[in-house]
Amino acid sequence: MLGRHIAKRSSSGEARSGKTAPDAARTALEFDEAPSDEKGPLERYVGVLELIAAFPGALTMSDVAGLMCFPKTTAHRLLSGLKRTGLIEGGGRNRPFRLGERLLRLAPALSEERRITAMA
């Protein structure tokens, strides 16, 4: 699924790097140098959110597992937790994930907070 998303973006002229999907995903995100098994659980959840945000509607559970270098069981557990809390939506039966409404409701609060801070 991810490969099709990258190809679609390439044909529209937005991203023509010629990189493979995993390389493009790693380039799009700033990954920490520490291997995923050395990161705490919160960092793993945030990493998954960042990956889904970079490729909205393009990543399946297998894509997330491969790109984050997680076993599929770990990816399933993290994605299930994020989905239960409403931070992501979709998934299941090779369907892609996207950011959830609960997470999207937080974005306006962040921009409002930054406006207030800038005024001070």
pTM over cut 0.85 = no
Q: What is the pLDDT along the chain (120 residues), one digit of tens a residue?
A: 454 444 333 333 344 344 445 554 554 455 444 555 567 899 999 999 999 999 989 999 999 999 999 999 999 999 999 999 999 999 988 899 999 999 888 888 877 777 677 776
Closest CA to 5 of 16, 21, 19: 21
Q: Give me the pLDDT at residue 8, please.
A: 37
Residue 18 has a pLDDT of 44
Asked whether the beta carbons of 78 and 45 are under 8 A apart, the reply is yes
pLDDT (0 to 100) of residue 12: 39
Q: Phi and psi for 93 in degrees, rounded to 5?
A: 50, 50
What pLDDT is attached to residue 17? 40
Q: How many Å apart are CA 49 and CA 7, to the nearest integer?
A: 22
Measured distance CA(75)–CA(42) in Å, rounded: 13
CATH number for 2-119: choose from 1.10.10.10, 3.40.50.10810, 3.40.50.150, 3.40.1390.10.
Answer: 1.10.10.10
Label residue 72 left, alpha or beta by phi (over 0 means left) and psi (-120 to 50 means alpha).
alpha
What stretches of 30-92 show up as alpha helix (H) in DSSP?
Answer: 41-54, 61-68, 72-84
